[in-house]
Amino acid sequence: MAVPAEHLLLVDSEGRRLDVDALVDKLRREPARVLADDEVGLVLYTGDLGLYSLKPTDSGAFLAQPVSEISRPRFSTRMLRKQIGATVLSVTADAVFVVRDGNTLKKVRAEKLEPGMVLASGEKVYR
Amino acid sequence: MSFKNELERRCFEIAQRTLGAGVSIEHNKTIQIESALFPEVASFKGPPAKEIDVLVAELLDRPKVVLLVSCKMLSRSAEPGHVQEWGAVVQTMNKYSDGRLYFGLVISPTGFTAGCEAWATSHNLGIMPPLKGRRLAFAEETVFRMFERTLKALHARVQLRFDDLKVPPAFFEFVYRLVADFEGHQEAELDGRYVLQPNGWPSSFGEMYQTIGGHRVEDLWAVPGATVARLSGGQFVKFSRARIEYGCDDELKPPLVQSTPQCRKNIEMEPCTFDLIRSATLGTAITSAGDFGGYLEFGLDERFNLGLHEAGFHLMSTETPIENHRL
């Protein structure tokens, strides 16, 4: 069973929401897109499809980031629930977040995110 | 081809197996920039050159895309200096190349100290095994599997597009995404209870149910220390207490000499015949499952629970009232 590092909210270049599972099932039938499909999981190339992942921000707007690969590991570390800004996310313990530390940025595993930390995007970690 | 150590030999074999020709190992190789007609590279000794041990893997022919791999066999974790050195080599080769594109990768089975990551991201180098923000040791064999997975994926990726990987830390992140998931995989491998056949891959309860849920029971039998259910679509499940194998095997047949299974029925676990269990379950579909450690139980057609034990089976009706549906 594939478990993404965090639940993806995917849209196409026109902003239409996509069903990630259906997309993965469709794309894995195109051998050229399959970068890895083994005991660790599936990695698909999506850089030419104009896909974006949406991250909700405090203001209620969405931050769109291009998605060049979709990864579906067969195993993940344990799942956590985190509230970051206005959003409550399900993420794996090893998902990486970039947080502000004084005037520098550093990476933090999801399991080490603490309330009060501020992400590079400006969102605050609540729990 | 000569190798300085076992790490080099294994990495070379993996690269050659994955990429075919175009892979070479060179020791004390003096690498020199390809285009030296720039005032800033003029010196009394000529253009910049450096003596290195390098595994060179050609990923793409036109235009040339080349991976430069540094194999670090160290007794301790690699330090920032090792990454900085490789970063300088790859950066200089790219800056003065004649159209070739170089990516850099550092492999150190003993791991990297925490300070290496910032140098790797800023120089856009892949590092293997990945730094994951907590103390985590990967077995040497796992590091080789990471290398093989990365080479295959990178080879496929550059055929589609590679220019986006040039901008730091895109290549670092690409390699990271391919190897980071070994953490969860390693944990599952240590558990070792679920095994997906025919590949023998470590698996999980969730993946097992996703694979066999909805399939019909076609046959049941027992072998010494285990029970087997053959399912529609060539699927099967074999339960032996500590290990649950499942997956696809079209050729799976009951052995000529079968063990006699111990069979029980109803909640009271009264003794019953194997024929009773077969007649009630064959042709029914798996609608739920539960792993109770000592046995694996399947819900069938939302009417029965079939238990697979290491020495036999149990069967009970799940319909109510219980007293009217005893077997």
For residues B260 and A93, what is the distance between their CA atoms, to the nearest angstrom? 46
- How confident is the model at residue A57, as a pLDDT? 67
The residues on A that touch B, with CB distances below 8 Å, are 1, 3, 32-36, 38-41, 43, 45, 47-48, 68-69, 71, 73-77, 92, 94, 96, 107-109, 111-112
Confidence of residue B216 (pLDDT cuts 50, 70, 90): very high
- How confident is the model at residue A4, as a pLDDT? 54
Residue B272 has pLDDT above 60, yes or no: yes
Confidence of residue A2 (pLDDT cuts 50, 70, 90): very low
Instruction: Report the chain B residue with the minimal C-alpha distance to residue A76.
Output: B184
For residues B280 and B194, what is the distance between their CA atoms, to the nearest angstrom? 27
Residue A7 has pLDDT above 70, yes or no: no
Give the up-direction half-sphere exposure of residue B315: CA atoms within 13 A in the CB hemisphere. 23
For residues B303 and B325, what is the distance between their CA atoms, to the nearest angstrom? 10
CB B100 within 8 A of CB B34: yes
**B184-213 per-position pLDDT tens digit:** 888 788 878 999 999 899 888 888 998 999
Span A36-59, mean pLDDT?
A: 88
Nearest CA-CA partner of B132 in A11, A10, A111: A111
Whole-Å CA distances, B183 to A38, A39, A40, A75, B210: 15, 13, 10, 9, 22
Question: Longest C-alpha distance within chain A, in Å?
Answer: 47
CB A35 within 8 A of CB A79: no
Instruction: Report the chain A residue with the minimal C-alpha distance to residue B181.
Output: A73
**B296-322 per-position pLDDT tens digit:** 999 999 999 999 999 999 999 998 887
H or E element at residue B222: strand B217-223
Give the bridge partners for A63, in sequence order. A55
**A93-116 per-position pLDDT tens digit:** 888 889 998 888 889 999 999 999
B206 contact residues in A (CB cutoff 8 A): 1
Distance linking the first and last C-alpha atoms of chain B: 71
A68 contact residues in B (CB cutoff 8 A): 164
Span B78-84, mean pLDDT?
A: 95
User: How many CB atoms within 10 Å of residue B10?
Assistant: 20
B183 contact residues in A (CB cutoff 8 A): 77, 94
Confidence of residue B323 (pLDDT cuts 50, 70, 90): confident
Q: Is the ipTM of this complex over 0.90?
A: no
Secondary structure (H, E, C), chain A: CCCCCECCCEECCCCCEECHHHHHHHHCCCHHHEEEECCCEEEEECCCCCCEEEEECCCCCEEEEECCEEEEECCCCCEEEEEECCEEEEEECCCEEEEEECCEEEEEEHHHCCCCCEECCCCEECC
Q: With an 8 Å Cβ cutoff, are A94 and B183 in contact?
A: yes
**Tokens read off for B237:** 């499940």
**B94-152 per-position pLDDT tens digit:** 988 888 999 999 999 999 998 999 999 999 999 999 998 887 889 999 999 999 999 99
Whole-Å CA distances, A3 to A80, A100, B121, B184: 13, 28, 26, 10
pTM, two decimal places: 0.79
CB B237 within 8 A of CB B296: yes
Instruction: Report the chain A residue with the minimal C-alpha distance to residue B136.
Output: A94
**Tokens read off for B267:** 């909640």
**B21-57 per-position pLDDT tens digit:** 878 777 767 777 777 777 777 777 777 776 677 888 8
Residue B208 has phi, psi (to 5 degrees) of -60, -45
Average per-residue pLDDT for chain B? 90
- How confident is the model at residue B27, as a pLDDT? 72
Residue B20 has phi, psi (to 5 degrees) of 75, -140
Q: With an 8 Å Cβ cutoff, are B133 and A48 in contact?
A: no
Q: Kindly report which listed range (A10-14, B147-151, B276-280) carries the lowest average pLDDT score.
A: A10-14
Q: With an 8 Å Cβ cutoff, are B177 and A43 in contact?
A: yes
* % chain B with pLDDT above 90: 62
Q: Which of A1, A43, A109 sits opposite B134 (nearest CB)?
A: A109
For residues B140 and B73, what is the distance between their CA atoms, to the nearest angstrom? 11
Confidence of residue B217 (pLDDT cuts 50, 70, 90): very high
- How confident is the model at residue B206, as a pLDDT? 84
For residues B296 and B307, what is the distance between their CA atoms, to the nearest angstrom? 6
- How confident is the model at residue B326, as a pLDDT? 84
For residues B12 and A124, what is the distance between their CA atoms, to the nearest angstrom? 46
**Tokens read off for A31:** 């051998």
